[in-house]
Amino acid sequence: MTTHEAPVSEAPPVSIPPRAVPPRLLYGPGPTTIDPRVMEAMAQPALGIRDPLFLEIASDIQSGLRAAFGTANTRTFVVPGSGSAAMETAVSNFVEPGMKFAVFANGHFANRISDMGLRQRANVVRFEKPWGTVFTAAEASEFIDRERPDIVGFVQAETSTGAYQPGVAITDAAHRVGALVIGDCVTSLGAMPAQIDDNGVDIAYSCSQKGLSCPAGLSPVSINDLAWERLSRRKEATWSWYLDARMQWNYFDAAHVYHHTPSAVLYYAMHRALRLVEEEGLTARWERHRRCGLQLVAGLQKLGFMPVVEDPGHRLWHLATVAPPAGVNEAAVRERLLAKYDIEIAGGLGQFAGKILRIGAMGPLSTEERVAHLLACLAAVL
Ligand SMILES: Cc1ncc(COP(=O)(O)O)c(C=O)c1O
């Protein structure tokens, strides 16, 4: 009997009901509501990965990302997966076993970077500060001069706390001791300045589903020449085959060497999103997010919410992190907003779980009308 003739047992009956998705408004820290023009771009037909048009789209994405990151880095490209895949691309390629990896730890995502470093068997040393605060240049210098690490990691826009870390405070000190710097720009890119060249970030990464208002699943990475040169001297292969930056890059380089099958629709989405950034102008886009963020925080304070980040100068523009007024249950607020108004906002992560709310106004929801709508719905559920 050939395998084709092998008896096949009857598959058990299944019933998959239709699930119509209502027009939810995602006012959380990400994923954000996808821009309708990005949705439309994704309805285009699939292209093969060597189609000259697809390669042009890939090349345009690289140019758009260089502008959004504020960099001249040739090696600016996308990896498949969410922001954590890009984080792991940075850590697994550049943090080698036995290296001293200094992490500026003031939030949940800095902890994730540390965990990834430990999995690389690095000697991870952490500078811990209370969540919601940032590191000053003097503090960073003192820590770096004492530890003299090989490589440093920090989060520019810490989504778990709502704090923005000025890069140069850390990168100047790191470069003085010859360390490379990994900067997490997952939440900053496309909504507030990432500016990785000015900030001295050697290896930067981000995501698609926050400031760029795309679906999750394709994540930007940018690596400067100094870091690339160090990577080329790496003796041991990167443990991850899939996230090997050199193999990933070979697809974007002139030879376009096949590594994995990219998702055509996610490329279309990012291409359209980056054109939207270009059409609006990066600085105008930042200004829109800054203005709407101020409107959001002022409205939240009027309703009795307290910002987690005390210094307004250190707050993310497009993501408010707030403690609810006394007696208000944050989970109940989230549940009611979703049930009554199709609005999603988020609770806290880690040590902030159950204590704070994270409310974003990003991409298409970063307008005066959209923020006013959110505030009105919030006032109603309170
Ligand atoms: C600062 C930061 N880094 C990394 C990540 C991980 O990204 P993802 O959830 O897309 O894997 C997130 C997600 O919210 C984030 O906010």
Q: Is residue 12 part of a domain?
A: no
Atom of ligand 1 nearest to the CA of 107: 1
pLDDT attached to residue 281: 98
Shortest-distance Cα residue to atom 8 of ligand 1: 83
Q: Are residues 180 and 326 in the same domain?
A: no
Give residues with Cβ within 8 angstroms of 43, minimum separation 6: none
Q: With a 6 A CB cut-off, is 88 part of the ligand 1 pocket?
A: no
Q: Are residues 212 and 251 in the same domain?
A: yes
Q: Is residue 204 part of a domain?
A: yes
Closest CA to 319 of 354, 340, 278, 349: 349
Q: Are residues 252 and 371 in the same domain?
A: no
Q: With a 6 A CB cut-off, is 83 part of the ligand 1 pocket?
A: yes
Closest CA to 42 of 322, 264, 200: 264
Q: With a 6 A CB cut-off, is 164 part of the ligand 1 pocket?
A: no
DSSP H helices, the chain, are: 36-41, 52-69, 83-94, 108-119, 137-147, 168-176, 225-232, 245-252, 264-280, 282-302, 330-341, 368-381
Q: Are residues 222 and 293 in the same domain?
A: no
Q: Kindly give the distance from the C-alpha atom of residue 191 to the centroid of ligand 1, in angstroms, as a whole number.
A: 15
Residue among 79, 91, 109, 210 whose CB has most ligand 1 atoms within 8 A, to mutate: 109
pLDDT attached to residue 4: 63
- pLDDT digit string, tens, across residues 135-167: 999 999 999 999 999 999 999 999 999 999 999
Q: Is residue 50 part of a domain?
A: yes
pLDDT attached to residue 263: 98
State residue 183 phi and psi, 5-degree precision.
Answer: -120, 125
Tell me how far apart the alpha carbons of residues 79 and 367 are, in angstroms, rounded to a whole number.
30
Q: Do residues 333 and 305 make contact, with C-beta atoms less than 8 angstroms apart?
A: no
Per-residue confidence band for 176, with pLDDT thresholds at 50, 70 and 90: very high
Q: Is residue 84 part of a domain?
A: yes
**Sign of the CA dihedral 320, 323, 326, 327?**
positive
Other beta carbons within 10 angstroms of residue 242's beta carbon come to 16
Q: With a 6 A CB cut-off, is 159 part of the ligand 1 pocket?
A: yes
Q: Is residue 346 part of a domain?
A: yes
**Would strands 157-158 and 163-164 be described as parallel, antiparallel, or unpaired?**
antiparallel
The whole-model pTM stands at: 0.96
Q: With a 6 A CB cut-off, is 30 part of the ligand 1 pocket?
A: yes
Give residues with Cβ within 8 angstroms of 347, minimum separation 6: 330, 331, 334, 353, 354, 356, 357, 358
Residue among 187, 203, 218 whose CB has most ligand 1 atoms within 8 A, to mutate: 187
Cα separation values, 278 from 7, 8, 33, 76, 272, Å: 59, 56, 19, 17, 10
Q: Are residues 268 and 285 in the same domain?
A: no
Q: Kindly give the distance from the C-alpha atom of residue 27 to the centroid of ligand 1, in angstroms, as a whole number.
A: 16
pLDDT attached to residue 13: 83
- Count: domains in the chain: 2
- pLDDT digit string, tens, across residues 185-237: 999 999 999 999 999 999 999 999 999 999 999 999 999 999 999 999 999 99
- Segment 38-51 mean pLDDT: 97
Atom of ligand 1 nearest to the CA of 82: 10
Helix 368-381, helix 330-341: angle, nearest 10: 120
Type of residue numbered 271: H
Which one of 253, 277, 301 terminates a domain?
Answer: 277
Q: Is residue 9 part of a domain?
A: no
- pLDDT digit string, tens, across residues 47-66: 999 999 999 999 999 999 99
Tell me how far apart the alpha carbons of residues 100 and 96 are, in angstroms, rounded to a whole number.
9
The CATH number for 340's domain is 3.90.1150.10
Q: In what order do the strands lie in the sheet with 75-80?
A: 75-80, 218-223, 203-205, 180-184, 151-155, 100-105, 123-128
Q: Is residue 20 part of a domain?
A: no
Cα separation values, 59 from 55, 62, 78, 93, 266, Å: 6, 5, 11, 23, 14
Q: Are residues 193 and 334 in the same domain?
A: no
Q: Kindly give the distance from the C-alpha atom of residue 308 to the centroid of ligand 1, in angstroms, as a whole number.
A: 19
Identify the residue whose tokens are 């005390």.
Answer: 310
Q: With a 6 A CB cut-off, is 109 part of the ligand 1 pocket?
A: yes
Q: With a 6 A CB cut-off, is 216 part of the ligand 1 pocket?
A: yes
pLDDT at 312 exceeding the cut of 70: yes
Q: With a 6 A CB cut-off, is 188 part of the ligand 1 pocket?
A: no
Question: Which contacts of 330-334 are long-range, i.e. CB under 8 A and separated by 24 or more positions?
Answer: 330/354, 330/355, 330/356, 330/357, 333/357, 333/378, 333/381, 333/382
Q: Are residues 286 and 352 in the same domain?
A: yes
Q: With a 6 A CB cut-off, is 31 part of the ligand 1 pocket?
A: no
pLDDT attached to residue 273: 98
Which one of 229, 251, 277 terminates a domain?
Answer: 277
pLDDT at 1 exceeding the cut of 60: no
Q: Are residues 170 and 224 in the same domain?
A: yes
Q: Kindly give the distance from the C-alpha atom of residue 158 to the centroid of ligand 1, in angstroms, as a whole number.
A: 9
Q: Do residues 65 and 76 make contact, with C-beta atoms less than 8 angstroms apart?
A: yes
pLDDT attached to residue 41: 98
- pLDDT digit string, tens, across residues 259-296: 999 999 999 999 999 999 999 999 999 999 999 999 99
Other beta carbons within 10 angstroms of residue 143's beta carbon come to 20
Q: Are residues 298 and 247 in the same domain?
A: no
Q: With a 6 A CB cut-off, is 321 part of the ligand 1 pocket?
A: no
Q: Is residue 181 part of a domain?
A: yes
Q: Kindly give the distance from the C-alpha atom of residue 170 to the centroid of ligand 1, in angstroms, as a whole number.
A: 21
Q: Percent of the chain at pLDDT above 90?
A: 96
Which one of 277, 301, 327 terminates a domain?
Answer: 277
Q: Are residues 271 and 316 in the same domain?
A: no
Cα three-residue angle 150-153-156, rounded to 5 degrees: 150
Give residues with Cβ within 8 angstroms of 305, minimum separation 6: 320, 322, 323, 324, 325, 357
Shortest-distance Cα residue to atom 16 of ligand 1: 159
Q: Are residues 163 and 261 in the same domain?
A: yes
pLDDT at 170 exceeding the cut of 90: yes
- Segment 247-264 mean pLDDT: 97
Q: With a 6 A CB cut-off, is 107 part of the ligand 1 pocket?
A: no
Q: With a 6 A CB cut-off, is 28 part of the ligand 1 pocket?
A: no
Q: Which domain holds residue 336?
A: 25-32+281-381
pLDDT at 3 exceeding the cut of 60: no
Q: Are residues 171 and 248 in the same domain?
A: yes
The CATH number for 86's domain is 3.40.640.10
